Structure formats: C-alpha cells, structure tokens
Amino acid sequence: MESRLLEILVCPVCKSPLRYERQRQELICRADRLAFPIRDGVPVMLEDEARELDDTDPAPAPAGTPQAAATPPASPGGATRQ
C-alpha cells in the first residue's frame, strides 16, 4: 500500500525515482542531492520544501542487493565426457 505509493514517487526536478529514508522520513533524490520531507505521512514534493544534502550526509548503500547473482560456469556440452 504505502510502498506502492512510494514506488511511483519521482523527483519533481529530474523525474528520477526517489529513495525512501524511513528513519528520517524523507525522500532522497541522489541526483539533485535533495531530501523531500514526509509530513504526517504525506510526501511534500516541492523543491522549495526540500532539504539540500551536503557532502557530510551519510549515504547508506542500497539494501536488498541480491547475492545470488553468481552464475554457474558454463560447462561445455559433453566435451569432457569419456
């Protein structure tokens, strides 16, 4: 429900998908380095209301990166068969 709503939220400046920071209750645009506040559960998608991120802001690595992306080595088709 809520996550579905957040999926369609894009930056009003550059139209990039926004990153939801649950702890800060902000929506982050990494490209513009802007943080849009969420007030009472309502994202404020106004550039004037956005907070500028400075370089000292911690940029957490994207979570949920699948670790099972390793592909098995392709075996030659029957070449090693004796």
Among positions 9, 13, 44, 53, the unique one binding Zn ion when judged by CB under 5 A: 13
**Strands 42-43 and 51-52, sheet pairing:** unpaired
Cα Rg, the chain, nearest whole Å:
20
CB of 32 to Zn ion, least distance (A): 4
Q: Judged by CB under 5 A, how many residues of this single chain contact Zn ion? A: 7
Among positions 6, 17, 19, 32, the unique one binding Zn ion when judged by CB under 5 A: 32
The count of C-alpha atoms lying within 13 angstroms of the C-alpha of 47, restricted to the half-sphere facing its C-beta, is 7
Per CB under 5 A, residues contacting Zn ion are 11, 13-14, 16, 29, 31-32
